[in-house]
Amino acid sequence: MTDALLVIEKLSVSYRGGGRAAHVLDGIDITIGRGQSVGLVGESGSGKSTVAFAMLGLLAGNAEVSARRAVFDGRETNFATGEATALRGTDIAMIFQDPMTALNPMFTIGSQLVDIQRRRFPKESRRKLWARAEAVLADVGVPDAAGRMHCYRHEFSGGMRQRVVIAMALLVEPKLLIADEPTTALDATIEAQVVEVLRRLRQRTAASMLVVSHSMGLIAELCDSVVVMYAGTVVESGPVRAVLHRPRHPYTRALLACEIDPYAAFDPAQDLATIPGSVPDLVRRPAGCIFAARCPARQDHCTCKPPHRQASSGQAYACWLEAA
C-alpha cells in the first residue's frame, strides 16, 4: 500500500527474565492506511498492548525489540533504538485503558489539557491553548466544559474521565490515534456512550486509528479492517465485514463464537462458548501452527508452519486448510 501511514514488517518482541526469554511477538505485520481505522483483536495475553507500546517506545526495560522494517508517515523508523518515542504526544497519541492512570489527581483537568498541547504547539499562548481545550472537551460531550476545566480528576465519573482522556489525545492532532481497550473500565451504558464519541470522532478526524480490543463487536463498530492475533502472531487479517461474515482461520471463528451477541434473546440454559486449552508456552514456542494444540480442525501437518493464504475478499490467513 503506497499511501500507508504506518507499515510494520516482522515486529518481534521478547521479554527477558529469570535467565529465560518469552517470545511475546513473533514477526507481526501491520499496515494502517491514512485515515483508516484498524482493529487489533485477540485474547488476553496475545500481545496486543505490546504492539501498541512498541510503536510508542513504551516497552518495559526487559524487552528486546526487532523489526525488519517500520515506516511511519514516509520515514523509516527504528523501534529497537527507541526512535518511536519522539512520535509520542505529537504524531501518535494514545487513549489508555484506565483513565485514572492517565490523569494526574494534583492538577485541574484544564491545566492538564493545556500541558498536553505544549509539545505540539510550543509557541501558542496559554489562553489560546485553554480555549482549544475547552472546545474539544465540549466536543467529546462533557457538559459545562468551561466550568469543568477547573475541576479535578476525582470530580468526574468514569465515563466523563474517559471523555477527558479522549479529548487529551485529540488536542495534539495526531496522525495516528491508538485506543487500547478504551471501554473495558466502563459499565455497559457508559461504554455505549464512549463508543459513540469514538465513532463520531472517527467520521470527523483525518487521523488513522488503531483500536486494541478483545471484543470483535467494538472493532466492528469502529474499524475498517481487523488484525486477529493469537499468542504473538497474526493468524488472520482483512476487512472487518469480510472477517465477521466469513472468518477463515479456526481461531477467528472460535473468538467470534465466544462473543456475546447483544441482540440475541438471553437464554440462561445456554453456556457461553469458550476456547478449550490454554495459550502456548511463549518461552518454547511450538514449531508449527501456534494454534494447533487448541484447534478443532487440527491435522497431522499442523506441526509444520502454515502457509499464508490470500482470499479474494481481501482476507489473509495462516492455515493449512485451503478453504478454511
Ligand X SMILES: Nc1ncnc2c1ncn2[C@@H]1O[C@H](COP(=O)(O)OP(=O)(O)OP(=O)(O)O)[C@@H](O)[C@H]1O
Please report, as ranges, the residues that interact with Mg ion according to CB under 5 A: 49
Residue closest to 251 by CA, chosen among 52, 50, 49, 43: 43
Query: Out of 6, 8, 15, 113, which residue is the one contacting ligand X (CB under 6 A)?
Result: 15
Q: Please, are residues 57 and 49 in contact by the beta-carbon 8 Å criterion?
A: no
Cβ nearer to ligand X, comparing 38 with 109: 38
Q: Please, are residues 34 and 48 in contact by the beta-carbon 8 Å criterion?
A: no
Which of ligand X, Mg ion, none does residue 22 bind to, with CB < 5 to 8 Å depending on kind?
ligand X
Strands 37-41, 225-230: pairing is parallel
Query: Out of 14, 29, 37, 48, which residue is the one contacting ligand X (CB under 6 A)?
Result: 48
DSSP track, 36-94: -EEEEE-STTSSHHHHHHHHHT---TTEEEE-SEEEETTEE--GGGTGGGGGBTTTEEE
Shortest distance, position 283 Cβ to ligand X, whole Å? 10
- The C-alpha cell of 238 is what? 482483512
Interface of this chain with ligand X, residues 190 to 219, rule: CB under 6 A: 214
Query: Out of 2, 3, 19, 44, which residue is the one contacting ligand X (CB under 6 A)?
Result: 44
Shortest distance, position 301 Cβ to ligand X, whole Å? 28
Which of ligand X, Mg ion, none does residue 46 bind to, with CB < 5 to 8 Å depending on kind?
ligand X
Strands 20-33, 37-41: pairing is unpaired
By CB under 6 A, residue 42 contacts ligand X: yes
By CB under 6 A, residue 47 contacts ligand X: yes
Query: Residue 123: is it exposed, middle or buried by C-beta count within 10 angstroms (0-12/13-18/19+)?
Result: exposed
d(CA 319, CA 317): 6
By CB under 6 A, residue 19 contacts ligand X: no
By CB under 6 A, residue 82 contacts ligand X: no
Cβ nearer to ligand X, comparing 44 with 125: 44
What residue ranges bind ligand X (CB under 6 A)? 15, 17, 22, 24, 42, 44-50, 60, 62, 214
